[in-house]
Amino acid sequence: MIDKLAPETPAFDAGYADEQLRRSRHPLRRLVKGFYLRSVLAHVNGPTIDYGCGAGQLLALLPPGSVGLELNPHLVAAHRRAGLDVRQWQANDEGFDLPGLSPGQFKCLVISHVLEHLPDPTAALQRLLRACARLGVQRLIAVVPGAKGYASDATHRTFIDARYVATQAWHQLGAYRLSASRFFPLPWEGGGELYIYNEMQLVFDRVAAVVDPA
């Protein structure tokens, strides 16, 4: 079961939104962040759903027709004022069903630094991939922190590493197969114990034409 997020958490308030936007505009942070964004964009091949778009740095670079989903209403409002297509994401189990999106509009979905906040990332990912199959999404790209990054945030609930991926059988989830995985920017898993911003990137590609049953 995927826990519902309480609206009292800091991720929902205006102060959190303002801080995220302020940090995203810092010149040095933008320079470094661009390095990471380009590594994700290399896997994107069409209109994309940015699931948990945060400060919107990735969304602003995605192909035309892309959409962001965000739970913080203050970030949603700020992105809309900036001309980005951002929808309010419902912070509950049903949010992983991608309600309100129409089939045939999107090729990819990116979920970056979200799964580690959940008590059951596998259940969330399975539900999200079923929704992707229904919408015709061909690729899902997931990004999670390494060991040091995971330990740096008290709101992280599940550590996802190569062992977790293997034991949870992420190599095949419904109609999607894990087609690529890598560690970035240090290209080995142990890099996550040395560098707080090292990540693991996972690419799931659709291999079946039928919708995986719920």
Domains of the chain: 10-206 (3.40.50.150)
What helix, strand, coil percent values describe the chain, rounded to 5?
35, 20, 45
Mean pLDDT in residue range 151-179 = 96
pLDDT confidence of residue 148: 97
Q: Are the C-beta atoms of 120 and 1 separated by less than 8 Å?
A: yes
Q: Phi, psi at residue 101, to the nearest 5°?
A: -105, 140
User: With a threshold of 0.85, does the pTM exceed it?
Assistant: yes
pLDDT confidence band for 6 (50 / 70 / 90): very low
What's the CA gap between 108 and 62, in Å, rounded? 10
Q: What is the mean pLDDT of residues 9-37?
A: 65
Phi, psi of 122 (to 5 degrees): -65, -45
- Residue 8 pLDDT: 42
